[in-house]
Each structure stands twice: as structure tokens, then as C-alpha cells.
Amino acid sequence: MAHKVRASEPKNIFAGGREQLLQYTLALLCVALGLGATLLLKTYLTPTPAALFFAAVMVSAWYGGLGPGLLATVLSTLAINYFFFKPVYSLNIININFLVPLLVFMLTAGLISLLNESRRTAQRKAEINLKSLRESEARFGRLTESNIIGVIVADLNGLIIEANDAFLQMLNYTREDLRSRRIRWGEITPPEYIEVSEQAIKELRITGSCKAFEQEYIRKDGSQVPVLIGFAKQGDRTIIGFVLDLSQRQAALRDRKQAEVSQSILQMLLEHVPEGITIAGGPPDFPIIANSKLAQELLGRPGESLVGMTSGNYVQSIGLFLADGVTRLTLEQLPLYRATRDGETIRDEECIIERPDGTRITAIANVVPIRNSQSQIIGAIDCWRDITNRKQMEETLRQRETELRLITDTLPVLISFVDSEQRYRFNNRAYQEWFGHSTAEVYGKYLWEVLGEPAYQVVRPYVEQVLAGEQVTFESQVPYQDGGTRYINAIYVPQFNQQGTVEGYAALITDISEQHVALHDRNLAQETLRDSEERYRILTEVSPQAIWMGDSHNGITYCNQYWFDYSGLTMEQTAGYGWIDIIHPNDRDRVFKTSMQAVANGTNYEAEIRFRRVSDGSYRWHLVRGLPFRDAGGQIIKWVGIASDIHDRKVAEAALQQLNEMLEQRIQERTAQLEAANKELESFSYSVSHDLRSPLRHIAGFIELLQKRHSSTNILDETSQRYLRIIAETSKQAGILIDELLTFSRMGRTEMRYININMEQLVEEIKRDLQIQTSRRTINWHIESLPEVQADPSMLRLVLRNLIDNAVKYSQTRNPAEITVGSIDNENEVVFFVQDNGVGFNMQYVHKLFGVFQRLHSDPKFEGTGVGLANVQRIIHRHNGRVWAEAIVDNGATFYFSLPKLPKKEGE
């Protein structure tokens, strides 16, 4: 409003200046007109020349006010003096005769101007008042019609004559109720406000108005509405009242009070709550509107106000890191930013806060976005707690728990804590070793679930006793369900809470099964030892061998009865080194030297000695063995030994030696005979081969001649021709069989020559050799990367040729045929294989596969002699390898052979 007034001032000033100029111009014009008229009527106006000038002053003052009137007065005075007082056309102001009339004119004209100025002022005030009244009436009309405030017209008796819609709506009345005069002041005023209303009416009667006051009106439906009322008299009997509905105001006051209380509570919380609280306002910048005292302190900024900062600048001003303390959070990762921008609710998110002084704290943040009724984000509350001490305590507790766990896990006993409900709340690693259950699996389970019902029934009385508050120690045999039956020593110690109630017990259980068994075994061992000593004594006495004991200082200290009977010596004669007297003179030095070496080195003693027999004086061979017997410190305390009569064995060995020499001579003679026989057999093989080949060649030749003759003469019929073909094929097969038999026989005698062989190159050469018989077939070859091996090249070629030829032959019914040659590298050998997708064979007959003349396919289209695989086996066996096969009928076969890995020097 002030801006509008100031903006209009230049226009008003300009308009006023122009009006004043017009007024003064009119004054000049009136004086000029008065002067002109007076000069024209000079003859008639000589006695009173100032008459028309009064009119000029009056007109000027009427129109322009005091200023133009005074101007007209001055100009008129000058004009009268100049034009009408003699001498004319001169200013005679000294002459008293002229001065008095001029002064009277001026005073009279000035009075006229002053009176007109007063009139104009009164007129202007009247116009302003009239305008103000009209504007006030217009405002009152608009106020009444706007229904912003209730307006009523009533008489002093309380009848409401007129009211606007705002008042009627306020009390839920209608225009019909108003016209029917149903609305009365006394009826709409509650009894508790009657006295207040009467005092207001009394004030109204006295002063014509009353101060605004608050009360309540009764609505048509009986409810009450708080109102602010003000009255003024209009005439003697009419009252105009203004009624303002205070419902919203009072609600606003209540809301305001509640807000003030909430603000007070919030301020108290921000001052005293033991958590850092930051509240952000609404978009677009989400400024910080509140920060708790603790938040300031935790951030290391106790004296710095962060209120008013945008949430983006606020979070960026804080050094925030992930829980690892190294990775700085980006703006989009910050909890407050995510809550205000994305509407995300953050729960217990841990982060590291770096303060301005470089110190760090660990905090957990809980951020909740604030939304309005349209679910739009209008702010966020960030509550975060300093958990640095808690983290340190947790770390300390973890370390102590780790140390405790380490200690309990290393102890060779079962340690556990069982609560009052007989559930496991702690157990060490020994439980896992005993029962095979991890710590997590045992935690929370009942005793009987882990121990088993039989074991629980054994320990149940002790458990009940300790849960009654007594410490229990016992030993018992317990049949655990997963730990076997064990003898245990158990200590149960109750743990009490602050109220003195048992909240559980600690159990320390030691497996004494071994000690129990050891005690039992010790008792048994002592008894057994006594029995053993008795049996040993009996055995030594009746033994058919000499048994002796001695030490390195005193020599022999004990001998059994056999020695005395054999040697004829007594114990006194044998003791020490008296036993040497019955040793054969040729053996004494050797025996003495051997025994002294054994004693010096502490090693076992063994020697063959001839002892003289007392019965016939003959010397018999004995095998004497002695073993050192050591104490716990490893020191030899005595020697124990036996002397066994081996004379008969020595005689038998001599006879056997003589027999072996005879057999060796016979073997050499037999070997020479076999070598001669092999040479004769080889000569016979070549002779048989030549003798068998010759008739076969004649048969083949004559058959060929007959076929040529038939082709020119057509003498033979079709049956004869078929016979000739059968004879030709049979003779051909017989030739092949003879060649393979010769090859088979030579494989066992041929000297082997080891060299490095490139297996991939060898396979490619065999493929080229088979091109003629495979040219009309579709075969997919899969040759894998093959390692070099050390073997006889001609023999290994024959092996691969036979296996690949068989793969080609037995896959001729497949289109396309799939043949794979590969290898498997093992630690001590290399395995090669040839695989096809042919007809395969029945694994039931695999044991016949590598025998001579053994064929598993009788189909005439699979030709063969049954010697090829026998050659393969013989060659691989000569290389110290293995050969085998796997197959599925109608699904192909795989033949394997292995060659041992040989050191290079052997190959060379």
C-alpha cells in the first residue's frame, strides 16, 4: 500500500501545479478584464473606479483561493493607482489622498480573499467527509455482503431485525427464521453469558457503544459457537452489532498452544535427549531447521550453528565414511540425502564420522522421511547415536570371548553352560569332537536332544541337584547317543542371578575312559604279568632251545634247563664268560669279536655257533640271537637271547646247495636244447610257409586262368563261377593267415629297439595307408594331441595299424563313421585309445578278444583271421604295457593300450 501511495505522488504534484497555474492565470485575466471594463466605463465609474476590481478579486478568490485573491488584490491596487489616480500612468503612493483609498481597497479585497479561502477549505472538508462516508458505506456494504463477519441489526429488546448471511450461517439459521422473527438475543445467549450481555447493553445505553467481548451463541441445533461481539447504537432504538466466529481462531489458538508445547518439548528433547537429532525442512533444498545439542557436540561443532544450511551442504560438510573407516560416502550414499531425495527409510546404518579436529566416532543412523497428506516429502528426521564406546566394548568383549573360546577350546575337557530350562547356551569345541555337532547346532538345544535319552537319565539326578543350588561332582559311565559310552568325571557349578535364583550351571566334563580303562588294564596287566612270568618260567624251563640273559658287565646271568642239559655245565660254570669253553675252537674268535661289537654298538646280536654236546662230545650248529633290553631312558640294562639248534638245517642246506648246483647244470643243458629247438622251429616255420604258399599260389594261378578262359568262352555256368570265386577268396585268406601266423611267431623272438616315436605322425602315416579302402566312405577323423613315447617303431606301427584298421572295418555300416585317436597321461604310463562308432561287441566275451583265432563277429562282411589283436597284445606285453577294450553292442568300441614312461637313458 505504501508503494502505491508513493508511486502516485508525482502525478498529484504535477496536477496541483497545473491547477495553481490556471488559478493565477485566471486572477490575471480577471484583473485585466476588470481594468478593461473600468477603462471602457470610466465616464460612469469615475467616483468609484474600484468597483469592478472588487469583482475581479472576488472571482479570483472564489476560484483560486487566498493566493490568487491576493494576487488579484495587488494587481488591482496597482492598476487603480496607475490608471485612475491623477496624474495617470504614474504610481503615486506618497499622496495620502490616494494611499488611504488604496489601503481600504486592499483590506477589503484581502478580507474577501480570506473569506473565500475559508469557504473553500470548508467545502473541501465537506467533500472529503462525504467521500469518506461513501467509501465507508461501500466498505460496510461489502463487509456485510462478503460474509466474512456477521452483521446484525437489532432493537434494545433483543429482537434481531436484520442479519447478513455470515451471521445466519454461523448459527445455522435461515432467512425464513429471520423474517419470522424467531431469532432473539436472549434465546441465543447461553445462561452463563447473560450477565456479560446485560453489562454490555448497559454500557451501550450509556455510551452508545460497547467494547468488544467474547461469549458463546447457541446454534439452531443446540450446539454452541464462540464469538467476538461488538455493538453500537444507531438512533434511539436500533443497534448495529458485529459478530465474529472465533471457532477457527480458538482452534488456531489451541493448535498454536499445542505447537508451542510441541516446540517446547522438541527444544527440551534437542537439549537433553541422549542422541544426536537433525531435522531437515522441505524441498527443494531441505534446509536444516533443528540440530540437537548433542548432535553439535558429536560433530565436534558445539559453538557452530548449522541451522539454515541445505541438507546437501550439511552432509557434505561432515566427513562420513563406511564402517571400514576408509571408503568415503558419496552424496547419493548419505543417509539424510537418501531420505529427503529418495524417500528411503534408513534403519541402524553404521558409519564413521570424522570431526574437524581429525578424531573419529562410530555412529548408527536412523533416518525417516516426513511426508504430507499427499505423500510428498516435506522433510526428514535424522537420529543418530554415538556407539564408539559400545563398539570398543564389543571389540573388547569379542577379544575376551575369543580368548575365552580359545582357552576353552584348547582344554581337553567339555565345558558348557546350561540355563535353568536345561538348554545349552555355551559349549566348547570338545562337544564337536565328541558328538560331531558344531557349536551353532548345539546352542539352544535341550540336554536330552544332544546327549540322548539314556545318557540324560544317567545325569538327570545331578542336573536337578545343581539347579537346586548345590555344586555337584560325580563319576559315572554315560551312554551318549552320538559319542559312544564313556566314563566321565563331571563338575556342575550353579550360577546365581542378583536375586539369588539359579539361572543355570557351568559344567566341566572330563573323559576318564582311558584312565578307567588304563586302571582296569593295569590291574589286568599285573595279573597277566604274573601269569606271564609263570608261563615264561615254565616255557623257558621246558623250551627245546637255550634261553639266556646277561649284561655287558657280568656276562651271562641266567640260562634255562635246556642249556644245562645240553652243555653239562652248571649255572656257576656258565656265569660270566664260562660258556665260551664249549664253543668250537674255530668259532671262538669270530663269536667273541661279534658279541663285543654288538655290546659296544648296542645293536642286535646274531651269530651261528657250534657248541659241544655233553652227551656225545659232538659239535652242533646253533643260531644265537640276542636283543638289548632298555630302560625308559634308552640305556641298555640287560640282554636277552636264545640259542636254537640249527644243525639239522645246516646239514639240509648243504645237501640243498649240492642239489641246486646239479639243477643249475641241468637248466643250462635244457636251455641249450630249447634254443636249438627254437632254431629248428623257425626253420620249420619258414619251410612250412614256403611249402604252404607254393600250392596256394598254384591254386590262385589256375583259378585266374579258368576265370580268363571263361570270360572268352563262357564254358562255366554261374554256380561254377561262384565256386571259383570262393576258392580264390579262401586261398587268399589262407595266405593272409599264414603271413599273420609268421608275424605272430616272430613277435616273441624279434629284438626290440627303443626310440622316440612321434605318435601323431605315425597315426597320419597309417591314415594315408588306408586311403584306398576308405576313399568311398565318409569318415570323420578326430586325432587328438598325442605325446611322444619310447618304443619299437615297427611293432608300434603294427599295433596302431591293427587297431585303426579294425575301427575302419567295424564302422563300415555307419555313415558317417566317427573314429577318434587320443591319449591319457598318467603318472607312470601313457594310455592311448582308438574309438569308433561301429557295431561294438558283447562285453561278456571280452576275455576272448585277444586270443589267437578268436573272432566275436561271424558276419562275412567283417573279414579277418583272428590273429591281429593277439599280435597287439603280444607287442604291448613285450613293452611291459597293458591292453584292454570296452564296447556296447551297436554303439561302438574303444581299444586301449598303455606304454610305461621310460627314462631317456634307457631309450638311448
Q: Note the pLDDT of residue 140.
A: 61
Mean pLDDT of 692-697: 63
Nearest to 105 by CA among 34, 24, 153, 40: 34
Cell numbers placing 322: 563406511
Q: Which residues pair with 287 in a beta bridge?
A: 310
Cell numbers placing 191: 445462561
How far apart CA 692 and CA 772 sit, in angstroms, is 29
Decide: helix, strand or coil at residue 688.
helix
Mean pLDDT of 445-456: 86
Matching CATH topology for 263-387 and 406-517? yes
Q: Note the pLDDT of residue 13.
A: 39
Q: What confidence tier does 690 reach under pLDDT thresholds 50, 70, 90?
A: low
Q: What is the pLDDT of residues 718-734, one digit of tens each?
A: 777 676 676 766 666 55
Other C-beta atoms within 10 Å of 675: how many? 10
Q: What is the pLDDT of residues 230-247, one digit of tens each?
A: 888 877 778 888 888 888
Q: What is the pLDDT of residues 163-213, one digit of tens each?
A: 888 888 888 888 888 888 888 878 888 988 888 888 888 888 888 888 888
Q: Note the pLDDT of residue 281.
A: 82
**CB proximity list for 187: less than 8 A, separation 6 or greater:** 218
Cell numbers placing 32: 485585466
CB 31, CB 75: distance < 8 Å = yes
Q: Note the pLDDT of residue 685.
A: 57
CB 451, CB 484: distance < 8 Å = no
End-to-end CA distance of the chain: 120
How far apart CA 70 and CA 114 sit, in angstroms, is 9
Mean pLDDT of 396-414: 73
> For residue 410, which amino acid is it?
T
Q: What confidence tier does 564 reach under pLDDT thresholds 50, 70, 90?
A: confident
Mean pLDDT of 815-837: 92
DSSP result, 520-546? HHHHHHHHHHHHHHHHHHHHHHH-SSE
> For residue 804, which amino acid is it?
I
Peptide bond into 283 cis (omega under 30): no
* Pairing of the two strands 817-825 and 779-783: parallel
How far apart CA 509 and CA 546 sit, in angstroms, is 54
CB 818, CB 782: distance < 8 Å = yes
Report field, pTM of the whole predicted structure over 0.75: no
CA 535 from chain centre, in angstroms, equals 72
Nearest to 587 by CA among 608, 568, 556: 608
> C-alpha distances in angstroms, 442 versus 70, 409, 483?
121, 15, 14
DSSP result, 139-195? HHHHHHHHTSSEEEEEETTSBEEEE-HHHHHHHT--HHHHHTT--BHHHHS-GGGHH
CB 338, CB 367: distance < 8 Å = yes
Cell numbers placing 26: 485566471
How far apart CA 444 and CA 451 sit, in angstroms, is 13
> C-alpha distances in angstroms, 98 versus 43, 77, 101, 189, 765?
19, 11, 6, 83, 165
Q: What is the pLDDT of residues 611-660, one digit of tens each?
A: 888 888 888 888 888 888 888 788 888 888 888 888 888 888 888 888 88
Q: Which residues pair with 328 in a beta bridge?
A: 321
Is the pLDDT at 104 greater than 50? The verdict is yes
Nearest to 301 by CA among 318, 325, 285, 324: 318
Q: What is the pLDDT of residues 667-679, one digit of tens each?
A: 887 777 766 665 6
146-245, superfamily in CATH? Answer: PAS domain (3.30.450.20)
Cell numbers placing 529: 604279568
Q: What confidence tier does 819 reach under pLDDT thresholds 50, 70, 90?
A: very high
Q: Note the pLDDT of residue 710.
A: 64
Q: Note the pLDDT of residue 160.
A: 86
Is the pLDDT at 485 greater than 60? The verdict is yes
Higher pLDDT, 769 or 505: 505
Q: What confidence tier does 780 reach under pLDDT thresholds 50, 70, 90?
A: very high
Nearest to 907 by CA among 790, 789, 759, 788: 790
Q: Note the pLDDT of residue 555.
A: 83
Q: What confidence tier does 692 reach under pLDDT thresholds 50, 70, 90?
A: low
Nearest to 868 by CA among 860, 856, 859, 879: 856
Mean pLDDT of 821-835: 92
Alpha helices in 209-317 (DSSP H): 247-272, 293-298, 311-316
Domain residue spans in the chain? 19-122, 146-245, 263-387, 406-517, 547-749, 750-900
What DSSP designation does 108 have? H
Write the class of the CATH domain 406-517: alpha beta
How far apart CA 525 and CA 518 sit, in angstroms, is 9
**CB proximity list for 324: less than 8 A, separation 6 or greater:** none
Q: Note the pLDDT of residue 5.
A: 36
893-908 b/e with 16+ CB inside 10 Å = b? bbbbbbbeeeeeeeee
Q: What confidence tier does 758 reach under pLDDT thresholds 50, 70, 90?
A: very high
Higher pLDDT, 132 or 504: 504
Mean pLDDT of 883-906: 83
Decide: helix, strand or coil at residue 637.
strand
Other C-beta atoms within 10 Å of 404: how many? 14
Q: Which residues pair with 651 in a beta bridge?
A: none
In this structure, the dihedral spanned by the alpha carbons of residues 260, 262, 267 and 270, taken in order and rounded to 10 degrees, is -170
CATH code reported for the domain at 547-749: 3.30.450.20
Cell numbers placing 120: 473553500
**CB proximity list for 644: less than 8 A, separation 6 or greater:** 545, 546, 622, 623, 624, 625
Domain 750-900, classified CATH 3.40.640.10, yes or no: no
Give helix then strand counts, H and E, for the chain. Answer: 28, 28
Nearest to 806 by CA among 871, 723, 755: 871
Catalogue the long-range contacts made by 248-254 (C-beta closer than 8 Å, 24 or more residues apart).
250/226
What average pLDDT does the structure give for the chain?
79
What DSSP designation does 330 have? P
Task: Identify the helix (H) or strand (E) that includes residue 472.
Answer: strand 472-480
Mean pLDDT of 849-873: 64
Q: What confidence tier does 2 reach under pLDDT thresholds 50, 70, 90?
A: very low
Peptide bond into 47 cis (omega under 30): no
Q: Note the pLDDT of residue 52.
A: 76
Topology (CATH level 3) of domain 263-387: Beta-Lactamase (3.30.450)
Higher pLDDT, 405 or 861: 405
Sheet holding 619-630, edge to edge: 555-559, 546-551, 636-645, 619-630, 605-612
Q: What is the CA radius of gyration of the chain?
A: 70
> For residue 58, which amino acid is it?
M
Q: What confidence tier does 7 reach under pLDDT thresholds 50, 70, 90?
A: very low
CB 434, CB 452: distance < 8 Å = no
Q: Note the pLDDT of residue 43.
A: 67
Cell numbers placing 293: 545439542
